[in-house]
Amino acid sequence: MLFAFDWHDLPHINAGLNAAATLLLILGLVLIKRRRERAHRNVMIGTLAVSTAFLACYLVYHAQLRAETGTSGMKFQGPSPIREVYLGILLTHVVLAALVPFLALRTIYLGLRDRRAQHRRLARWTFPIWLYVSVTGVVIYVLLYHVYPPQAVGHILRRTEAVAAARPLQLSVDSQCDRRAL
């Protein structure tokens, strides 16, 4: 097996998918501004595919997290003033993220049906919302996993001999670590 991971890797994969969606959205805008409609169409369909892959990974991760730990998300570990900013970003991200699938599907449908006036009108709303959700997804990831990572010292990802045999990355947890902190 050339590529192996377990569900603990999904937040990192999700951040990569959000970053890819961000770049594709910007590329799609540049292409349509240059009147390269076919390329724009292809890039936007690709963006929808990347966002769909993100949604699937996101749902799998949170279902697995709930099944194994009883929680549905990571607790923010930053200081109180930063926590308020984080929660503001998270709230707007979640609310707008709930709209993106509907907006994106409808906008792409209108474009594929060559209903240009309606497509352009809706795209003026869809594009900035979709872009905001993609960018803030990466920001939330960076804050949760890199700037203010979980405080549990017992969970450290390390490669075992199994990796040499091309098996998945294993999560080692020492006996002092509460698994719910993951």
Q: How far apart, in whole angstroms, are the C-alpha atoms of residue 127 and residue 48?
A: 12
Q: Is the dihedral of CA 37, 56, 101, 83 positive or negative?
A: negative
Determine how many CB atoms are found less than 10 A away from the CB of residue 87.
Answer: 11
Regions of the chain where pLDDT drops below 70 = 1-4, 152-182
* The predicted structure's pLDDT at residue 152: 53
Q: Where are the beta strands (DSSP E) in the chain?
A: 155-158, 170-173
Element (H, E) at 155: strand 155-158
The size of the chain, in residues, is 182
Q: For 17-38, how does the pLDDT look when each residue is reduced to its tens digit (9 = 90+)?
A: 999 999 999 999 999 999 999 9
* The predicted structure's pLDDT at residue 157: 37
Q: What are phi and psi of 157, to 5 degrees?
A: -75, 125
pTM as predicted:
0.80
